[in-house]
Homo-oligomer: A and B are copies of this chain.
């Protein structure tokens, strides 16, 4: 009888990632609960999206913690981050395209904190001579988000194997498509 709020958020995230215009009724049925119950826990669609945002930020932050970006080489740290973010990628792809979250004056400050942590990793890689300096940390951060979203979508559509997720993103982001002169 007790509604598992966490579980509802996860189901909603999975559904909305595929169909961002899904109805409250569809969200409720996907979660196996009634529409009334959904409304009892999330005042409305806005509240649901906000809750998903908070959930996504929380999960993203947890992934950052687990990846221990300060330890070891920046490249390896990035690989760990990609691995830890695989499960959040779909949700983040949805949230990023939900411009409703970024137009009001009530923009969740969590995003800035997350961006800063990711950017710091790229900056560290540059300062330690591991990453090139002609690509700004801000752009590398955006590129990481973009690749995570693209790959999540490609996996959902069956164009990329789920097992290749981490490798495809990390390798492309680190080494690019060009063959290295030296291995």
Contacts and interface: CB of A to CB of B under 8 A. Distances in A.
A69 to B, nearest CB: 14
Interface residues of A, number: 46
Given A177-B122, A177-B131, A177-B132, A172 B143 contact: yes
Given A139-B168, A142-B154, A146-B147, A182 B179 contact: no
Main secondary structure of the interface of A (DSSP, over half): helix
A159 interface: yes
A143 B179 CA distance: 17
Number of copies: 2
A105 interface: no
B174 A19 contact: no
Given A99-B18, A168-B135, A182-B182, A140 B177 contact: yes
Contacts of A150: 142-143, 145-147, 149
Interface of A: 18-20, 75, 78, 97, 99, 122, 125, 129-132, 134-136, 138-140, 142-143, 145-147, 149-151, 153-154, 159-160, 164, 167-168, 171-182
